[in-house]
């Protein structure tokens, strides 16, 4: 069972991608290219031993 899940959501729906899924490396590369992606939040998530949510990126009003 994966320890980390990428949860992507927007106003029209979303998806959940488990760590280790096919294409995860490309997904992470794309996410890290987003303006103001928070690498420190991702590092905190990867090192957390408890169930929690970490916001790595959020669309800003000017990027909407």
Are 32 and 56 within 8 A, CB to CB?
no
Q: In terms of Cα–Cα distance, which of 58, 31, 56 is closest to 45?
A: 56
Q: Which residues of the chain have pLDDT under 50?
A: none
- What pLDDT shows up at residue 1? 79
- What pLDDT shows up at residue 63? 57
Strands, E assignment, the chain: 5-10, 13-18
- Sign, CA dihedral 57-11-53-23, equals negative
- What pLDDT shows up at residue 60? 81
Backbone angles phi, psi at 6, to 5 degrees: -90, 120
């Amino acid at each position: 069972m994966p320890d980390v899940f990428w949860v992507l959501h927007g106003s029209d729906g979303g998806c959940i991608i488990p760590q280790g899924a096919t294409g995860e490396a490309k997904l992470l590369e794309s996410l890290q290219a987003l303006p103001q992606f928070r690498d420190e939040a991702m590092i905190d998530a990867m090192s957390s031993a408890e169930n929690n949510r970490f916001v790595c990126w959020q669309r800003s009003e000017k990027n909407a």
